[in-house]
Amino acid sequence: MKTGKFVLTLAMAAGLAGMAKAADPIEGLWQTEPDDGAYAHVQIKPCGAAFCGTIVKSFKDGAAFASPNVGKQIVIDMAPKGAGDYEGKVFRPSNGKTYMGKIAVAGAAMTMKGCVAGGLICSKQAWTKLK
Expressed as residue numbers, the domain containing 62 is 24-129
What integer pLDDT is reported at residue 87 of this predicted model? 96
Tell me how far apart the alpha carbons of residues 77 and 30 are, in angstroms, rounded to a whole number. 17
pTM equals: 0.79
In a domain, 75, yes or no: yes
Using DSSP bridges, classify how beta strands 50-60 and 63-65 pair: parallel, antiparallel or unpaired: antiparallel
Looking from the CA of 57 toward its CB, the CA atoms found within 13 Å total 9
pLDDT value at position 23?
Answer: 67
Asked whether residue 8 is assigned to any structural domain, the reply reads: no
Asked whether residue 13 is domain-assigned, the answer is no
Q: Is residue 93 a part of any domain in this protein?
A: yes
CATH classification of the domain holding 61: 2.40.128.520
Q: How many residues does the chain have?
A: 131
Per residue, the 3-state secondary structure of 33-58, as one string, reads CCECCEEEEEEEEEECCEEEEEEEEE
pLDDT given at position 2: 53
Tens-digit pLDDT string for the chain (131 aa) = 454 443 333 333 333 333 345 668 899 999 999 887 889 999 999 999 999 999 999 999 889 999 999 999 999 999 999 999 999 999 988 889 999 999 999 999 999 999 988 778 889 999 999 98
CA distance 40 to 119: 25
CA atoms within 13 A on the CB side of 96: 1
Q: Give a yes or no: residue 56 inside a domain.
A: yes
Written as one letter, the residue type at 73 is Q
Number of domains in the chain: 1
